[in-house]
């Protein structure tokens, strides 16, 4: 219930952003059109955003006979977490990373990259999968997936406004070229800040719950350190093409090309590791 309320509030905030951009672009008529488009996008995102994200990130669903060790690990951890068995996907990138998606535990998926399967030990990989299952159990995945979809739509609208301004636009646009410039810069930034605020809180909680599910907080801490170190050297091309989905990954996949911490959607990895180490000391 709490997850659905949080998603509803998020949708309302982003709908308001889209309406504001529509007003700047076309006055009252633009705001009304933006509201209609935002409403349609919200409905579509609620039911289909998980499939869109998986497709955008190049995820391929696997069966047990294709990767039995991974499949059985997910099944065991899901049972331990009290969750239905999620679908399992492989991401065709060598950057070590993972994410979960789905509107509820009955329609969830866990996706891991080829790189993470090669890099991590069995216990470390179990910690990562348990972290993603924690997101599913907390129902973060709906918020994460819808946010990624709507933030991408807002960024696209900002680009459209920039193009409209460059082409001269209409004379009755609110604020003229300045209004388009403000919308172009601040609406995508505001959407990103909403993502950041949600992401940082939920990552700490997913780390804690994931460590409880796997029973090995130090293995998850080690996995975070290795992923963070290696991911900065390897480009995740699908994530770079669709940066709005960066908040869904266990470690920011954009570090390879985008080092500006202003747009970081995750808390500092060092702080996450310290919390897990403290958890291990407390038994």
Q: Three-state SS across 64-87?
A: CCCCHHHHHHHHHHHHHHCCCCCE
212 is in an annotated binding site: no
- Short-list 201, 197, 204, CA closest to 278: 204
For the chain, the structural domain boundaries read 2-281
Whole-number Å distance between alpha carbons of 34 and 29 = 9
Question: Catalytic residue positions?
Answer: 132
**Strand 108-113 to 87-91 pairing:** parallel
**Runs of H (alpha helix) within 82-139:** 114-119, 122-137
Q: Which tokens is 143 given?
A: 């918020």
205 is in an annotated binding site: no
Contact 147, 125 (CB under 8 A): no
Q: Which tokens is 165 given?
A: 């301004």
Which helix (H) or strand (E) element contains residue 219?
Answer: helix 217-231
What tens-digit pLDDT sequence spans the chain (283 residues)?
454 566 667 667 777 777 777 776 667 777 787 777 777 776 766 677 788 889 989 999 999 999 999 999 999 999 999 999 999 999 999 999 999 998 889 999 999 999 999 999 999 999 999 999 999 999 887 777 667 666 666 766 666 666 666 565 554 555 555 555 665 666 666 666 666 666 678 899 999 999 999 999 999 999 999 999 999 899 999 988 887 778 889 999 986 454 444 455 688 999 999 999 999 999 7
135 is in an annotated binding site: yes
122-137 vs 140-166: helix axis angle to the nearest 10? 80
Q: 96-107 as b/e, with b when 16 or more CB fall inside 10 Å?
A: bbbbbbbbebeb
Which helix (H) or strand (E) element contains residue 111?
Answer: strand 108-113
What is the pTM (predicted TM-score) of this model? 0.77
């Amino acid at each position: 219930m709490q997850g659905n309320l949080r998603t509803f509030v998020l949708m309302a905030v982003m709908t308001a952003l889209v309406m504001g951009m529509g007003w700047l672009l076309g006055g009252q008529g633009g705001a009304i059109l933006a509201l209609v488009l935002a409403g349609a996008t919200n409905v579509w995102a609620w039911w289909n955003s998980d499939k869109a994200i998986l497709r955008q990130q190049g995820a391929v669903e696997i069966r047990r006979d294709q990767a039995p060790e991974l499949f059985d690990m997910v099944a065991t951890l899901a049972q331990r977490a009290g969750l239905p068995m999620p679908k399992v996907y492989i991401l065709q990138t060598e950057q070590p990373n993972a994410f979960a998606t789905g509107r509820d535990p009955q329609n969830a998926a866990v996706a891991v990259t080829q790189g993470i399967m090669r890099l991590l030990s069995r216990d470390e990989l179990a910690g990562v999968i348990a972290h993603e299952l924690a997101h599913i159990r907390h129902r973060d995945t709906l918020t994460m997936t819808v946010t990624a979809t709507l933030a991408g739509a807002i960024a696209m609208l900002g680009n459209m406004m920039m193009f409209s301004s460059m082409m001269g636009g209409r004379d009755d646009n609110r604020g003229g070229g300045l209004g388009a410039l403000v919308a172009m810069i601040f609406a995508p930034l505001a959407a990103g800040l909403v993502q950041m605020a949600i992401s940082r809180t939920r990552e700490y909680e997913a780390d804690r719950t994931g460590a409880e599910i796997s029973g090995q907080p130090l293995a998850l801490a080690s996995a975070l350190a290795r992923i963070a170190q290696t991911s900065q050297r390897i480009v995740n091309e699908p994530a770079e093409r669709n940066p709005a989905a960066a908040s869904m990954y266990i470690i920011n996949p954009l570090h390879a090309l985008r080092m500006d911490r202003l747009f970081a959607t995750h808390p500092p990895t060092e702080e996450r590791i310290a919390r897990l180490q403290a958890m291990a000391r407390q038994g």
